Structure 1
Amino acid sequence: MKRALVWMWRRLRPFQWRILWIMNATFMVGVSGVIRNEQGQVLLLKHRLWAARGGDWGVPTGYAKRRERLEDTVVREVREETGLEVRTGSLIRVRSGFKFRVEVAYEAHVVGGTLKLDPFEIVDAKWFDPSDLPEGTRQAHRTLIHH
């Protein structure tokens, strides 16, 4: 029986990924970036779409697009939300458990660009010393910053 299953699976090689896709869970991937400048300060954004929670401050965050490298998601989201160019560094965290969502966070450093906010998503953006984060900074993002 096992041999027959192995033989059949090998014959299905062109379709294996589709079969696995159908049979397994599919997740959205939320990607965050802890962005630092040359002085070691952290970029925090006040997100308009988080207004239900009092307009909390947090690190740049967004969702990965299909077939997008997670590091590239950080670069794209920061550029879209702030106009800044960043280079990703170390992976800080990967976690799941939010229904069909996985969260990934990277450290990143500013390498260029000019701060210009996307007014649809972002209300404000400021650089903060990690030891002096503003009131209203999301606890999960404080944890990332101090990681």
Structure 2
Amino acid sequence: MKRLITLLWRAIRGPLQWRVLWFAHAKFMVGVTGVVRDDSGRVLLLRHRMWPPEKPWGLPTGYANKGEEFQKTIVREVKEETGLDVKVGRLVHLKSGYKLRIEVAYEALVVGGSLTLDTFEILEARWVTPTDLPEGTQESHRQLINGTTT
């Protein structure tokens, strides 16, 4: 039986193998977050409309599009949500183990643009120091800002 499966697998090389693998394995969304800082070290926090009212503050975040590099997700999401341009830095967080998603976070530095909020998603934006985060900031985002994620 193993030999037959091996022969069959070798016979379908190429795109068909990828299709079989795609059907056989789990599907995940990838949530990508940017720890966006300015030249002074302040962090960009956003008050998100769709987040729980008791914890609306957090970093720019969104889901990667199919085939999109995660660094480009940060550039796109920050631009869409705030109008700012960023240069993406190092990976600071990668976490799996969720049923439907993977979390990724990168450092990012503002390099241009002007603050213009997407008022459908974002209610307010603030530049804050890591020691002056507003009440209602997501705990996981506090940890990303302070470099204490597990």
TM-score by length of 1: 0.94
Q: Deviations over 1:48-96 (max 9, x none)?
A: 111x333521000100111111110000000000000001111111112
Name the CA distance, whole Å, in 2 between partners of 1:18 and 1:30: 24
Instruction: Please identify runs of 4+ aligned residues in structure 1 that moved more than 6 A.
Output: none
Q: Which residue of 2 aligns with 1:92?
A: 92
Within 1, Cα distance between the matches of 2:55 and 2:123?
A: 8
Query: What is the Cα-based RMSD across aligned positions, in Å?
Result: 1.2
- Aligned partner of 2:146 in structure 1 is 146
Contact 1:44 1:58 in 2 (8 A): yes
SS at match of 1:13: coil
How far off its partner does 1:3 sit?
4.0
2:60 corresponding residue in structure 1: 60
Gaps of 5+ in 2: none
The SS at the match of 2:50 is helix
Task: Report how many residues are paired.
Answer: 146
| SS of alignment partner, residue 5 of structure 1 | helix
Any gaps of 5 or more consecutive residues in structure 1?
none
User: 8 Å contact 1:89–1:108 — kept in the other structure?
Assistant: yes
Q: What amino acid sits opposite 2:44 in the alignment? A: L
Counterpart in the other structure of 2:47: 46
What residue is the counterpart of 1:131 in the other structure?
131
Contact 2:55 2:137 in 1 (8 A): no
Please say if residues 78 and 86 of structure 2, whose CA atoms lie closer than 8 Å, have aligned partners that are also in contact.
yes
Q: Describe the superposition over 1:89-145 as per-residue Cα deviations: whole angstroms up to 9, x where unpaired.
A: 111111123321111111111111000000100000010001211111110000001
| Distance in 1 of aligned mates of 2:45 and 2:28 | 26
Percent identical pairs in the alignment equals: 56
CA contact (8 A) 1:48 1:55 kept: no
Which residue number corresponds to residue 110 of structure 2? Answer: 110
